[in-house]
């Protein structure tokens, strides 16, 4: 009885939908200068699950994503990655922001891919990828380069290892950015509209790489307007509006048979 | 009209076409350019001629150009300029980072530094450093060691402090501007990878700020070579002081001033060449417009290189 209770308690902290939880977001609030942007967001993402976050512009998707690696500081609530509280620590019942060094260590486990790629333009593709492993994981120059080339292979760009960002197409740049995040072997990868800045004919190659990374078991939270991708790859789709999650569930529910009027309106407008 | 406008448009297919003479296109003639050029050259020629015929003893100029005292002064000028620039770059980087810090105390202190040292004449600052002994008769850590200020603040030390700290205030603004010119997404991407702010600054932001920082630093270095002559006021012996001392004796005022001018021009020219190469190094991608001076320098260096081989 006791053991069963203990197991029950453990299951509520460590699993969601019966699976291992990688990212848990609990009642997160955030305002910018009095304007509430996140108004109590709770969600979770299982290990190796792909969660797609959809919603209109300004609904708070980027802000939520940026809270997960503490690029944005929430005002209230908790975010854990693999059971570890992100950005804050419990000091006798009060949650206090962590030292910068600890936040930096936590960020190594949370990769991020940006809408505008944000490759370092003064470095080659391989150098972009090698920088963080060299500085943070103590790899030698040669080891880091080897790792960089291996990461580039994963996104099909090993032959462009010595190219600077400006000599790569947008799609290639975003694939290098994905390789850069992968090289740190993160526990979860965050994508903030990774294909929104791309010419239409380049979207496919980036989504293809993302799909392959997902199939290799990476946990991913993806903000996207590519509902076809969400439909095929996501385990869970969250629809956000005005700082709250309006609807959540498997894609065949949220995207095909939305229960809420607002979700239905968004999906039909986006798919049109 | 040499060609018909009435005929229907013709699509020429297949083989490359001939160019009949009436189809050739010509650049617009600029006859006025020749006139203005000639006028300017005439004025220049007149100026050169008047100096050549003026009462300047060119033999004296030639004689003192390599005089020991002049060369020693030149050495002192270059020494103080280089050291003061290095201090200025170090201080400028440090205070620029402080100015951008989230800590309000640090950014206010940095702001005060710039306000104070940019807002007062450098000559005044030099004199204050030199006379520091009037406020602090001795310097040091009480109990550990103490020195009379007069012994510590030599003309050289005062010049170094005065010029270096003043330069730091200007370079703080230059470097801060350079850092701000880098897209904030760069620092963000570095943070997201887990890099510390210090590493992000050193490896990601500053290298990209260089194209915006190098040209003004080059200008400042050229300015420093000339500003260092103000240190003469606190009896630091540099090239201008030494030139003055010589003409007090032999009365050849203009000749010695010309000697100093020649050396200043030589030093600033060498600095410009250095700046040119630094700029090129940090501006690999940008399309550059080349001035005549630019082309002369490159050609000259290429010739020197060939000669050296
Ligand atoms: N740093 C900031 N300072 C002030 N307001 C901000 C800041 N970042 C975001 N906001 C505001 O917060 C709201 C939500 O922004 P957010 O970027 O999270 O939306 P989003 O869902 O990602 O939209 P989009 O699809 O346009 O990227 C917007 O109204 C935005 O203007
Ligand atoms: Mg966004």
Domains of chain A: 21-119+189-271 (3.40.50.300)
Asked if the C-beta of A167 comes within 8 angstroms of chain B's C-beta atoms, the answer is: no
Cβ contacts below 8 Å, chain A against chain B, sum to 65
User: Looking at residues B37-42, what average pLDDT do you find?
Assistant: 94
Residue B279 lies in a domain: yes
Query: Scanning every residue of chain B, which has its alpha carbon at the shortest distance from the alpha carbon of A105?
Result: B194
Residue B2 lies in a domain: no
Distance (angstroms) between ligand 1 centre and the Cα of A104 equals: 24
pLDDT at B4: 54
pLDDT tens, residue order, chain A (272 aa): 444 444 444 434 444 445 699 999 999 999 999 999 999 999 999 999 999 999 999 999 999 999 999 999 999 999 999 999 999 999 999 999 999 999 999 999 999 999 999 999 999 999 999 999 999 999 999 999 999 999 999 999 999 999 999 999 999 999 999 999 999 999 999 999 999 999 999 999 999 999 999 999 999 999 999 999 999 999 999 999 999 999 999 999 999 999 999 999 999 998 76
Residue with CA closest to ligand 1 atom 18: A60
- Asked if pLDDT for residue B303 goes beyond 80, the answer is no
Query: Scanning every residue of chain B, which has its alpha carbon at the shortest distance from the alpha carbon of A68?
Result: B192
How far apart are alpha carbons A160 and A152 in whole angstroms? 8
Number of domains forming the structure of chain B = 1
Distance (angstroms) between ligand 1 centre and the Cα of A79 equals: 19
How far apart are alpha carbons A107 and A120 in whole angstroms? 18
Residue B42 lies in a domain: no
Q: Relative to the CA of A60, which ligand 1 atom is closest?
A: 18
Residue B73 lies in a domain: yes
> Which residue among A107, A118, A119 sits closest to B194, beta carbon to beta carbon?
A107
Residue B12 lies in a domain: no
Give per-residue pLDDT as tens, B258-300: 999 999 999 999 999 998 888 888 775 444 445 666 667 777 7
Residue B39 lies in a domain: no
The pocket of ion ligand 2, defined by CB under 5 A, consists of: A 62
pLDDT at A7: 42
Report the gap between the CA of A167 and the closest CA in chain B (Å): 10
What are the pocket residues of ligand 1 if the criterion is a CB atom closer than 6 Å to any ligand atom?
Answer: A 32, 37, 55, 57-63
Residues of chain B neighbouring A135 (CB-CB closer than 8 A): 195, 199, 203
Domain containing residue B136: CATH number: 1.10.3720.10
User: Looking at residues B195-216, what average pLDDT do you find?
Assistant: 94
Asked if the C-beta of A71 comes within 8 angstroms of chain B's C-beta atoms, the answer is: yes
- DSSP calls for chain A: -HHHHHHHHHHHHHEETTEEEEEEEEEEEEEETTEEEEEEEEEEEETT-EEEEEE-TTSSHHHHHHHHTTSS--SEEEEEETTEESSEEEETTEEEEPPHHHHHHHHTTEEEE-TT----TTSBHHHHHHHHHHHHS---HHHHHHHHHHHHHHTT-GGGTT-BGGGS-HHHHHHHHHHHHHTT--SEEEEESTTTTS-HHHHHHHHHHHHHHHHTT-EEEEE-S-HHHHHHH-SEEEEEETTEEEEEE-HIIIIIS-SSHHHHHHHHHHH-
Residue B193 lies in a domain: yes
- Asked if pLDDT for residue B37 goes beyond 80, the answer is yes
> Which residue among B183, B188, B194 sits closest to A132, beta carbon to beta carbon?
B194
Instruction: Select from A28, A29, A30, A32 the residue to mutate for testing ligand 1; criterion: most ligand atoms less than 8 Å from CB.
Output: A32
Q: Which domain holds residue B221?
A: 59-296
């Amino acid at each position: 009885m006791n053991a069963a209770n203990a197991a029950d308690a453990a299951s509520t902290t460590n699993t969601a939908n019966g699976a291992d939880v990688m990212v848990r977001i609990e009642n997160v609030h955030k305002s910018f200068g009095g304007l509430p942007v996140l108004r109590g967001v709770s969600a979770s993402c299982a290990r190796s699950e792909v969660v797609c976050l959809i919603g209109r512009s300004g609904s708070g998707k980027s802000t939520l994503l940026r809270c997960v690696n503490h690029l944005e500081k929430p005002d209230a609530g908790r975010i854990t990655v693999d059971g570890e509280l992100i950005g804050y620590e419990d000091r006798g019942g009060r949650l206090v922001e962590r030292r910068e060094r600890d936040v930096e260590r936590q960020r190594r486990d949370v990769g991020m891919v940006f809408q505008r790629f944000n490759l370092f333009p003064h470095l080659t593709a391989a150098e972009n990828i090698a920088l963080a492993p060299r500085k943070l994981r103590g790899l030698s120059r040669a080891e880091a380069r080897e790792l960089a080339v291996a990461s580039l292979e994963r996104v099909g760009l090993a032959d462009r290892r010595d190219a600077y960002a400006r000599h790569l197409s947008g799609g290639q740049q975003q694939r290098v950015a994905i390789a850069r995040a992968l090289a740190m072997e993160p526990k979860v990868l965050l994508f903030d509209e990774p294909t929104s800045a791309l010419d239409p004919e380049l979207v496919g190659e980036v989504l293809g790489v993302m799909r392959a990374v997902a199939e290799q078991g990476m946990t991913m939270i993806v903000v996207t307007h590519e509902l076809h991708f969400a439909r095929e790859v996501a385990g869970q789709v969250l629809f956000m509006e005005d700082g709250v999650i309006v609807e959540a569930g498997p894609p065949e529910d949220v995207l095909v048979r939305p229960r809420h009027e607002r979700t239905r309106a968004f999906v039909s407008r986006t798919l049109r | 009209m040499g060609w018909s406008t009435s005929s229907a448009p013709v699509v020429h297919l297949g083989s490359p076409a001939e160019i009949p003479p009436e189809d050739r296109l010509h650049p617009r003639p600029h006859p006025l350019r020749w006139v203005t050029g000639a006028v300017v050259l005439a004025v220049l020629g007149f100026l050169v001629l008047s100096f050549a015929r003026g009462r300047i003893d060119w033999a004296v100029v030639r004689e003192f150009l390599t005089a020991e005292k002049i060369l020693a002064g030149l050495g002192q000028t270059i020494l103080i300029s280089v050291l003061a620039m290095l201090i200025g770059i170090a201080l400028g980087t440090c205070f620029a980072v402080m100015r951008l810090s989230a800590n309000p105390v640090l950014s206010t202190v940095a702001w005060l530094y710039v306000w104070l040292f940019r807002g007062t004449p450098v000559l005044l600052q030099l004199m204050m450093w030199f006379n520091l002994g009037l406020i602090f008769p001795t310097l040091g850590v009480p109990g550990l060691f103490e020195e009379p200020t007069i012994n510590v603040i030599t003309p050289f030390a005062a010049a170094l402090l005065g010029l270096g700290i003043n330069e730091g205030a200007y370079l703080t603004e230059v470097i801060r501007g350079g850092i701000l010119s880098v897209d904030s997404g760069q620092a963000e991407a570095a943070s997201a990878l887990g890099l510390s702010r210090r590493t992000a600054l050193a490896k990601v932001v500053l290298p990209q700020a260089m194209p915006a920082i190098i040209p003004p630093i080059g200008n400042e270095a050229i300015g420093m070579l000339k500003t260092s002559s103000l240190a003469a006021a606190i009896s630091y012996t540099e090239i201008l002081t030494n030139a003055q001392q010589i003409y007090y004796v032999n009365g050849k005022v203009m000749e010695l001033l010309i000697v100093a001018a020649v050396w200043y021009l030589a030093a600033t020219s060498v600095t410009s060449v250095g700046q040119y190469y630094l700029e090129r190094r940090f501006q690999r991608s940008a399309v550059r417009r080349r001035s005549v001076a630019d082309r002369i320098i490159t050609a000259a260096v290429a010739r020197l290189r060939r000669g050296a081989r």
